[in-house]
Chain A
Amino acid sequence: MKTQTYVLNMGPQHPSTHGVFRIILELDGEVVVKATSVPGYLHRGIEKLAEARTYTQVIPYTDRMDYLASMLMNWGYVAAVEKLMGVEVPERAEYIRVIVGELSRIASHLVAVGTYSVDIGGFTGFLYCFRDRERVLDLLEMVSGSRMTFSYFRIGGVADDLPPEFFPPLQKFLKDLPSLCDEYDGLITGNEIFQARTKYVGIITPEMGIKYSLSGPVLRGSGIPYDLRKVRPYGVYDRFDFEVPVGKNGDCFDRFVCRIKEIRQSARIIQQAIEGLPEGPIMAKVPKVIKPPAGEAYAEIESSKGILGCYVVSDGSTKPYRVHFRRPSFINLGYLDELLVGWKIADVIAILGSLDIVLGEVDC
């Protein structure tokens, strides 16, 4: 019998590519023979746009990269400019950054967990995650005034102090969070069908993870405890006591479980940050018109998807000469084509979902 492969064009309009992402699959029945990923449908040229904006005006654009963890995107850019200018950020601002940054990480991971559940086919887990994410967004809205694109960070500090009405709901949320995580674990992680779908699927070996420069939960799922907050602490992260959860097999299941565990750890960090929140100014002494000296700087932070790097080149004017972002989703996606070969259509969705990409960040 003569059989033939066929090409299935998955995306850019597809329910489970997490946005406008396209994978050209060459299939033998349901098995993937060759996969070609085609990103770029959401490219807005943020790096180019930044060249025509002043240093402060770039901040709202960074929001639009990983719109699920905007605070962390702000942080990456702001950290680079601060490094360029040599600004010392006040301690209170650093603590506030940690609090809102970790809240943003929780929000981002909740989306990752929820959408992964719906990728595998369980819709209820998705809505539970979004129900709880809503509470995080309410908190961040109190701080910044927006629900998604916060633009809360400023070069040298943060835009506003934490309002007093922010703390009681935050404490309540932190108290509820472990039981909420238990609910996700019970409904999604513990489910045998879910485990059958994700365990030993899409295995990334530690060697390949390092070779492809993967980062974030995707790398940690393979058992490498590489978290910038721990190995190269920036800000005030060296003052907090938390663990870096790692997986064993490097399969989809481990990557997924890592995220739920990270939510729990983030809650721990926030708790410590609230307790240690010092008094003081929230903005460093920076001039009204930001004009860094000519030169370049590269700063990295640990975003919810992995290592977010930002490279800023200044020519001494008020506008950056060049801004480049190392977006973790994009780098993590580099391994996808190779990872998909030999798996079924259903696994393509499972693997793509476990990488947890955000297309705003991939295409930038």
Chain B
Amino acid sequence: MGENIFTGIAESLRAFLYGAGVPPLASELIVLIVKLLAVIIFVSLNVVWLVYMERKIAAYIQCRIGPNRVGPKGLLQTVADVVKLLAKEIIIPRRVDKVVYLAAPILVFVPPMLAFAVIPWGDGMAPIDLNIGVFYILAVGSLSTIIFWMGGWSSNNKYSLVGGMRVVAQMVSYELPLVLSLLGVIMLTGTLSITEIVNAQRGTWFIFAQPLAFLIYFIAGVSEVNRVPFDLVEGESEIIAGPYTEYSGMAYAMYMLAEYGNMMVISCMCTIMFLGGWLAPFGWTFLPSWFWFFIKVYLMIFIFMWIRWTYPRIRVDQLLGFGWKVLVPLSLANIFVTGVGMYIYRAIGW
């Protein structure tokens, strides 16, 4: 029930276009654009919801109530905040690199948006089913480094500069374990297509086959999205707000919202690669596949937030040391063990 809502809509749209005599190529294009627009709108709304969710979870962990004045249960709080920030002036300090300074907050939303284009939201619900989806997401994901650094460099502020340099150091060193940990899964499935990876988990989810890889991916993912305990980039108590120090109004809000977008991407990837994507656990197919996908994604997001409001921040040299000395060797060992295991598996001919 409800399983085919979204695919059904796409099918009927396609059928309608076919009936109206639109050539197949053009109708495909229109359907694709509609799909992507739907994803963009959904992601934007979801980010607004995530900000609210984060604030509520933080409040409940800290024995507070959290936003509860604007709208029912405070649900419109983020909307009100965004409207307020939209009305605020974007201050451009003297001697900033204006073009880069203004481009950075606009561009910062691009990498997560690009990544969402290939995420399968349910069974057969990937807007674009790329056969190198995993590779694409990793490539796009590492783009945000440059954008954060642009903001940090152009602000002409020492705190921003320190923050920007931290972004580069952190993201470069954590990109490696992030990619290497996924390699285990890719070795098992032998494909880079996201849909096929999910389908390969019909038997067991890869979190059970590759627990170490999951842990490494999760830790590196937390670092990728700059959240506690790896939020050195923002490092509020040390370097004010890192690259965002000089930003105000909506430009600042864009960075904040993009953080949630990135968190969504990492959670989606965790779900797809390790938690069985849209597959229902224990054969509980009474809920539609996209619903299962969201349950899993939100579970991951909750864990992100839970950790965010529990842990203190790590220091920059410890962060780099942990990345290079612990996570990279561990992920390499994981690849080695996986490879040996697969070889033995095949030799036995099970």
Contact = CB atoms under 8 A, between A and B. Distances in A.
Interface of A: 6, 8, 14-16, 30, 117-124, 127-128, 131, 187-188, 191, 193-194, 196-197, 344-349
A347 B63 contact: no
Given A15-B237, A196-B318, A8 B158 contact: yes
Main secondary structure of the interface of A (DSSP, over half): helix
B215 interface: no
Interface stretch (B79-87, B307-315, B327-335): B307-315
Contact of A16 (B58, B62, B237, B317): B237
B312 A120 contact: yes
A187 B310 contact: yes
Given A128-B62, A131-B63, A191 B311 contact: yes
B318 to A, nearest CB: 6
Interface string B218-235: 000000000011011001
| Chain A CB within 10 Å, residue with most, of B58, B228, B239 | B239
A122 B311 contact: yes
B240 interface: yes
A191 B162 contact: no
Contacts of B158: 6, 8
A14 B312 CA distance: 19
B235 A191 contact: no
Chain B: interface secondary structure? loop
A127 B60 CA distance: 11
A107 B64 CA distance: 20
Given A30-B162, A124-B310, A128-B62, A349 B317 contact: no
Contact of B237 (A30, A128, A131, A349): A349
B63 A346 contact: no
Contact of B62 (A14, A121, A124, A196): A124
B63 A127 contact: yes
Contact of A121 (B58, B64, B162, B231): B231
Contact of B312 (A6, A15, A121): A121
Given A8-B158, A127-B62, A344-B315, A349 B309 contact: no
Given A123-B62, A128-B62, A345-B239, 13 more contacts: A16-B237, A117-B312, A121-B228, A121-B231, A121-B312, A122-B310, A124-B309, A127-B62, A197-B313, A197-B315, A346-B313, A347-B315, A349-B237
30 contacts: A14-B240, A15-B240, A30-B316, A120-B237, A121-B229, A121-B312, A121-B313, A122-B310, A123-B62, A124-B61, A124-B309, A124-B310, A131-B63, A188-B312, A191-B311, A191-B312, A193-B229, A193-B314, A194-B312, A196-B318, A197-B313, A344-B315, A344-B316, A344-B317, A345-B238, A346-B313, A346-B316, A348-B238, A349-B237, A349-B238
